[in-house]
Every structure is written in structure tokens, then in C-alpha cells.
Structure 1
Amino acid sequence: MHLKLGDEIRKYGIDEGDWKKVFSVFSHFPHISKAILFGSRVKGTYKPFSDVDIALVGEALSLTDLLHLKNEIDDLLLPYEFDFCIYKDLKNTEFKSHIDRRGVEVYDRSHWSIMLRTALLLSTCS
């Protein structure tokens, strides 16, 4: 899995601005350390209305977090259906292995906070 940001991330059929909105919501949830995109979006077989499959990584991540996250993502009114799962709770080892092999890390909390601090610094310098 490799972190994909910028121009590279557009190949998954989602606008970069929409990704930033989603990542901003992720940043409200301290238990989310990483997000891994998988499924048709990564395989390149997605259709315009294909769902966006994302495995969320975080040791303390709970179903309650997931429900609140889904509500916040729905409130963004984006033209995509997001399907989230909690990576540590997946029981099917073949499915986990597939995510490990084919998944693309699209969000990393530590990287995102560096990006936000840089953006804030640049905005105060102008």
C-alpha cells in the first residue's frame, strides 16, 4: 500500500477537492490512523456511480466511530456512495489479504496533519 495524493489520486474517479473534504472528516476522528481504498476504484473497473470501498485502520476505532463517520460523510452531499469497514474487525483473512495486496493508502493521519499545518502557515505568510 502506498499513500496517493495530488494528481495521482484522481485516477480513482473522485475529484481531489472531494477527497480533501473526506480527509477533513477523517481528521475529526482521532482513532482513524489510515484509510485504504480497495475494490473497483483501485482495479480501474469502476463505473461513474460505483461505491467507494475504504478500509479504516485504527486500533481503538469502534462501530460507534464508524456510524458517526458515515453520518458526517453523508452530510457532505458528495455524488459517491462510501462503503467503510474497520480493518482490524475483518474476520475473513482472504479479504484482509486482498486489501493488503491491492489496497491503496489514501489517507494517513500524520501526513494529513503536516499538510494542514503547512497550509495554515502558508496562509498566514501571504
Structure 2
Amino acid sequence: MSDTLIIKNDLLSLSGLTERDLVTIKNIFYKYEDIKSVRIFGSRSNGTYHTGSDIDLAIMNEIVDKRTLFRLKGEFEESSLPYFVDVVIFSDLSNPVLSRHIVEEGLEIYHRDKK
């Protein structure tokens, strides 16, 4: 079994998301060439989610245009995902505890150069 498959299975198990949910998320980010890496964090990265938990995502780029973030949020609202999706830009965070949590406990859910 490949490392990619193991990681994907772990992500599905921890996050409570379906494979279809992951594909939807990745397809949305893929439309934006300037987005290179995204991490899922919070309850959906550590297995403590409950029914209706939102999906917390951090864009790990150094710089992301605010208009891109606005468009992304709109796409997630219009998507088939049955959850609220909260997207933040990692470099804009001012809370060091949250930043550390994303780095240490967040899981990469999208990377532009990986399948």
C-alpha cells in the first residue's frame, strides 16, 4: 500500500469527510494557480469533529490576494459540501497558538504539485 493511500485513509478517518468531499475541496483549490498548499486543522484534523462541524482550512502560501480568498469562500458556499468551510491565510494569522496548532496538528489536504 502506498504512503499516499495510507495518508488519504487516515485523513478520511480523522476528518469524517468522504472521498467526494475531499475531491470537491481539491477541485476548488486547483482552480487557483497561486494556491500551493492547504492544511485542514481543528476538530477535523484530530478526530474530535461532530455532526455539523465546520471544515477549517489554512492556505499556507506566503501571499494570497484577498480577492482570491473572497472568491474561494464564495465557491465553498456554492459547493455541494454539506458543511460550512472556514478558510484562512496562514501568514495573516496573529494568534501564535492557532498558528502552532495548524503547523503541528494540521494535515495537508491539498498540494498543487502532488496528486
Q: Same fold (TM over 0.5)?
A: yes
Which of residues 92, 95, 110 is equivalent to 1:92?
95
1: distance between equivalents of 2:53 and 2:7? Answer: 21
SS at match of 1:37: strand
Question: Is there any run of 5+ residues in structure 1 with no aligned partner, and where?
Answer: 116-126
Aligned-residue RMSD, C-alpha = 1.6
**How many angstroms does 1:31 deviate by?**
1.6
2:42 to 34, 39, 44: 39
* Bigger helix fraction: 1
CA distance in 2, matches of 1:22, 1:5: 16
Deviation readout 1:38-72 (Å, 9 max, x if unpaired) = 10112211111000111112223122111101111
Structure 2 unpaired stretches of 5+ = none
- Normalising by structure 2, we get a TM-score of 0.86
Q: Which residue of 2 aligns with 1:121?
A: none
In 2, Cα distance between equivalents of 1:91 and 1:48: 29
Instruction: Check conservation: 1:9, 1:16, Cα contact below 8 A.
Output: no
Q: Partner amino acid for 1:56?
A: I
Q: Per-residue deviation at 1:5? A: 5.1
Secondary structure of 2:23's aligned partner:
helix
Please give the TM-score of this superposition, normalised by the length of structure 1.
0.79
Match of 1:18 among 12, 16, 21: 21
Q: Secondary structure, in 3 states, of the residue corresponding to 2:73?
A: helix
Tell me by how many angstroms 1:7 deviates.
2.4
Residues 35 and 105 of structure 1 are in contact (CA less than 8 Å); yes or no, is this contact kept in structure 2? yes
Larger gyration radius, structure 1 or structure 2 = 1
The amino acid that maps onto 2:37 is K
Counterparts of 2:62 and 2:39, CA distance in 1: 15
Identity of aligned residues (%): 32
Q: For residues 55-105 of structure 1, give each alpha carbon's deviation from its aligned partner in whole angstroms, at most 9, with x where no partner exists.
A: 112223122111101111222131111111000111122221111111111
Displaced runs of 4 or more, over 2 A: 3-9
